[in-house]
């Protein structure tokens, strides 16, 4: 839908001159404007900290703790109710509006699903709370069917932990659409999902919005998703909308330098990437790391089944697969974080023992998806980095301090970061610190587990560049675990595709991308979002 179309059909919700400040008086939104028409999806895009979530949550009359509305209005024109300014209605009224006329889908389904309640109960609660005047059980089944889920008694009696991540997110979407709201705010609902599940969730959103005539605000940092989903885009930077227009206008002919930089940072399978050369094994001699016949079971469930892999000095091997394919289990087994049930591991031809020696622990290090998994929020960055040096090396205090500062410099964090705490860092800075912690013992192998999945595109690009620098300057080999095949040309030399605990395809990046041999690999490629899919 074009801007002209939007104005001609009227808007369901219109934000004008929105200003938000911290309780200390620092303004974080500087007069934001946006409008969404019935059946339209407006994508609010921008880096972390740009203000997009704050601007979108204002449509729910909600401001996070420490923030206050200081100016501007939000006009609501629904099917059954209208309000000249949602931000001026009494708290009791706004509570009655949320979930009924304006609903919300969070990034993490754990924030919207109660782990103690069954699925059917959770969806019906939304209806009952807002006085739904029809058959509640019938509506629950109807909306679950709408999002592609089963509606039989077995499914309705499941708990959230018995569902996959994609199923949980679709239950959250079902609850959000249960009362047929006029406006829905979707806050990065596919971040962390594999490409196949993401595609299914996005199709579900698009169909529901179109069929119900709902106005949708879609918060995201993923412009490739925007290309195939949204009608219009509003680009936010530092609390302001710097560019707005149709998806085609903004993504194919961006006018603002910030928009241009965001688009340039988007990884794309169709774009040939020029990378600095990095050391890489040529297949001769002994591989740095070898995995033979690796297996892992949990009760009757086989998670890994006969995995064979080789990793050469300075090489980056991308381990690709959907959620549940076994990639994190394999990665943790290689790093010694869990014991494998079968097979053997060797480093430079020598068996990796269980438990591992200090030398072997130093040689294979792990970077978690969440930096908080390796950075203690109560320790300074320097203190967290010093822990592995204290346990795995014989360096004295002065040498450890010098090594920490040197490593921070290697990941492009200056000395001032040494005394800061993780909570005071941006997402990209925290991930750099986590990478520094893994590298501080000078490992031969770095296992990176979904280290860019929650980062915006520009920070993701910076982390990818950093990892390439580490390989080039330190000669570190990397296993890059991900579900995002679009990063392949940016980071990897070879790809191994994991499905159901088995390697179904291996080859160089170009071999796998240009001529995939396995149907599963072709399916992953087909579902990968691309900037070429501009609506």
Confidence of residue 275 (pLDDT cuts 50, 70, 90): low
Between CA 390 and CA 385 the distance in angstroms is 9
**Range(s) of the chain covered by CATH 3.40.50.300:** 3-264, 289-530
Say whether the peptide bond before residue 355 is cis (omega within 30 degrees of 0).
Answer: yes
Q: What is the mean pLDDT of residues 79-108?
A: 91
Q: What is the mean pLDDT of residues 517-525?
A: 94
Cα→Cα distances 414→108, 420, 461, Å: 33, 11, 19
Residue 443 and residue 365 in contact, taking contact as beta carbons nearer than 8 Å: yes
What are the residues whose beta carbons fall under 8 Å from the beta carbon of 396, sequence distance 6 or more?
none
CATH 3.40.50.300 is held by the domain 3-264? yes
**What's the confidence (pLDDT) of residue 276?**
52
Q: The tokens of 218 are what?
A: 């879609």
Residue 63 and residue 22 in contact, taking contact as beta carbons nearer than 8 Å: no
3-state secondary structure of 448: strand
**By mean pLDDT, which of 230-239, 260-269, 300-309, 475-484 is the weakest?**
260-269
**DSSP letter assigned to residue 431:** H
Residue 178 and residue 170 in contact, taking contact as beta carbons nearer than 8 Å: no
What are the residues whose beta carbons fall under 8 Å from the beta carbon of 15, sequence distance 6 or more?
32, 33, 34, 35, 55, 58, 59, 72, 73, 74
Confidence of residue 111 (pLDDT cuts 50, 70, 90): confident
Q: The tokens of 365 are what?
A: 């290090």
Q: What percent of the chain has pLDDT over 90?
A: 65
Average pLDDT, the chain: 89
Closest Cα partner for 42 from 231, 247, 245? 231
Confidence of residue 4 (pLDDT cuts 50, 70, 90): very low
Strand-pair category, 289-298 with 301-311: antiparallel
Residue 361 and residue 355 in contact, taking contact as beta carbons nearer than 8 Å: no
Q: What is the mean pLDDT of residues 471-483?
A: 90
**What's the confidence (pLDDT) of residue 1?**
41
Residue 27's beta-bridge partner residues? 21
Closest Cα partner for 227 from 266, 197, 170? 266
Residue 246 and residue 3 in contact, taking contact as beta carbons nearer than 8 Å: yes
What are the residues whose beta carbons fall under 8 Å from the beta carbon of 380, sequence distance 6 or more?
418, 419, 420, 421
Query: pLDDT tens digits for 311-335?
Result: 999 999 999 998 889 999 999 999 9
**DSSP letter assigned to residue 39:** T
Query: pLDDT tens digits for 143-199?
Result: 999 888 888 999 999 999 888 777 888 899 999 999 999 999 999 888 777 888 888
Between CA 193 and CA 210 the distance in angstroms is 23
Cα→Cα distances 203→163, 196, 357, Å: 19, 11, 49
Please check the confidence at residue 373 and state whether its pLDDT lies above 60: yes
pTM of the model: 0.82
Q: What is the mean pLDDT of residues 464-475?
A: 87
Residue 60 CB burial class (10 angstroms; 0-12, 13-18, ≥19): buried
Residue 229 and residue 533 in contact, taking contact as beta carbons nearer than 8 Å: no
Please check the confidence at residue 372 and state whether its pLDDT lies above 90: no
Q: The tokens of 40 are what?
A: 């339209």
Closest Cα partner for 484 from 169, 192, 263? 192
Containing 215, the helix (H) or strand (E) segment is: strand 215-220
Confidence of residue 535 (pLDDT cuts 50, 70, 90): low
**DSSP letter assigned to residue 98:** B
Q: In what order do the strands lie in the sheet with 82-83?
A: 27-36, 13-22, 67-77, 82-83
Closest Cα partner for 169 from 152, 181, 186? 186
Domain covering 289-530 in this structure, CATH number: 3.40.50.300
* Residue corresponding to tokens 């999902």: 193
Residue 246 and residue 231 in contact, taking contact as beta carbons nearer than 8 Å: yes
């Amino acid at each position: 839908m074009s801007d002209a179309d939007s104005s001609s059909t009227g808007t369901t919700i219109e934000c004008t001159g929105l200003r938000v400040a911290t309780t200390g008086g620092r303004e974080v939104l500087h007069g934001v404007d946006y409008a969404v028409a019935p059946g339209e999806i407006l994508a609010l895009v921008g880096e972390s900290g740009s203000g997009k979530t704050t601007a979108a949550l204002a449509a729910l009359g909600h401001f996070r703790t420490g923030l206050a509305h200081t100016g501007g209005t939000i006009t609501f024109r629904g099917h059954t109710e209208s309000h000249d300014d949602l931000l001026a209605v009494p708290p009791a009224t706004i509570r009655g509006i949320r979930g009924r006329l304006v609903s919300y889908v969070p990034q993490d389904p754990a924030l919207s699903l109660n782990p103690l309640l069954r699925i059917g109960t959770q969806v019906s609660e939304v209806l009952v709370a807002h006085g739904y005047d029809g058959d509640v059980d019938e509506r629950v089944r109807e909306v679950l069917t709408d999002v592609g889920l089963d509606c039989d008694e077995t499914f309705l009696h499941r708990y959230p932990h018995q569902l996959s991540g994609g199923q949980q997110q679709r239950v959250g979407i079902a609850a959000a659409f249960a009362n047929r709201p006029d406006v829905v705010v979707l806050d990065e609902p596919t971040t962390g999902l594999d490409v196949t599940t993401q595609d299914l969730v996005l199709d579900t959103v698009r169909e529901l919005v179109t069929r119900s005539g709902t106005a949708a605000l879609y918060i995201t940092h993923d412009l490739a998703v925007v290309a195939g989903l949204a009608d219009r885009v509003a680009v936010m930077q530092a609390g302001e909308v710097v560019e707005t227009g149709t998806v085609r206008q903004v993504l194919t002919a961006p006018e603002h330098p910030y928009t241009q930089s965001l688009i340039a940072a988007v990884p794309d399978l169709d774009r040939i990437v020029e990378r600095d050369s990095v050391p890489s094994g040529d297949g001769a001699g002994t591989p740095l790391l070898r995995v033979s016949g690796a297996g892992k079971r949990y009760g009757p469930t086989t998670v890994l089944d006969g995995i064979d892999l080789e990793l050469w000095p300075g090489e980056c091997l991308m381990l690709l697969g959907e959620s549940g394919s076994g990639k994190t289990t394999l990665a943790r087994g290689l790093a010694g974080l869990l014991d494998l049930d079968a097979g053997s591991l060797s480093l430079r031809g020598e068996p990796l023992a269980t438990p591992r020696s200090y030398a072997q622990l130093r040689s294979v290090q792990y970077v978690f998806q969440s930096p908080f998994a390796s950075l203690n929020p109560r320790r300074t960055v320097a203190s967290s980095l010093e822990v592995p040096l204290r346990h795995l090396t014989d360096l004295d205090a002065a040498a450890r301090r010098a090594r920490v500062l040197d490593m921070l410099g290697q990941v492009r964090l200056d000395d001032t970061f040494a005394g800061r705490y993780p909570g005071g860092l941006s997402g990209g800075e925290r991930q750099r610190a986590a990478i520094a912690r893994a590298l501080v013992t000078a490992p031969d192998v770095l296992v990176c587990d979904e280290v860019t999945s929650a980062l915006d595109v520009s920070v993701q690009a910076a982390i990818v560049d950093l990892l390439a620098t580490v390989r080039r300057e330190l000669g570190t080999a990397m296993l890059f675990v991900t579900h995002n095949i679009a990063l392949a040309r940016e980071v990897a030399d070879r790809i191994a595709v994991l499905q159901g605990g088995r390697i179904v395809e291996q080859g160089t990046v170009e071999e796998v991308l240009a001529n995939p041999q396995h149907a599963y690999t072709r399916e992953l490629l087909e579902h990968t979002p691309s900037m070429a899919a501009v609506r």
